[in-house]
Amino acid sequence: MTAFWICAGVTAASALVSLGFSAAAALTARHQARTDAAYVLPRSVALAAVSLVPLIGQTRSSLLTIALAMVIVQALDAVVGSTIRDRAKTFGPASISALNLMALVWFLV
C-alpha cells in the first residue's frame, strides 16, 4: 500500500508543478505566447484534477493511467527544454519524470 501512496503523491505533485508553470506562463506571457499558454492551462488544470482521483478513490487503474500520463508529459517537457537548450527546463522535468516512473514501477511490482 505504501507504493500506491508514494506513486499517487509523486504523480499529484508532478501535475501540480506542471499546473503552476502553466498558470505562471498564462499570466506573464505577452502576445501570441500568452494565447498559446492560455490553451495549455486548461489541460494542466485537467491533469491536476485527475491526479487527485487516485488519492480519493484509491483505484489502481486510475493511478496507473494518470501516473503514466504525467511521466509522458514531463518527459516531453524535458525534450522541449533540451530543444531550447535550457538546462533547468530539461533536467527539472526529466528528474520529475524519472522519479514518477520509478514510483510507478515500484507500484506495479
Express each pLDDT in 10-27 by its tens digit. 999 999 999 999 999 999
Cα separation of 97 and 55, whole Å? 19
Cα separation of 66 and 26, whole Å? 23
Contact 66, 48 (CB under 8 A): no
Which residues, given as ranges, of the chain have pLDDT below 50?
Answer: none
Q: How many domains does the structure of the chain reveal? A: 1
| Sign of the four-CA dihedral 37, 38, 41, 46 | negative
Cα separation of 86 and 88, whole Å? 6
C-alpha grid cell, residue 68: 503514466
- pLDDT (0 to 100) of residue 1: 82
- pLDDT (0 to 100) of residue 53: 95
pTM: 0.91
- pLDDT (0 to 100) of residue 67: 98
Q: Which range of residues forms the domain containing residue 13?
A: 2-108
- pLDDT (0 to 100) of residue 9: 97
Neighbours of 79 (CB within 10 A): 12
- pLDDT (0 to 100) of residue 73: 96
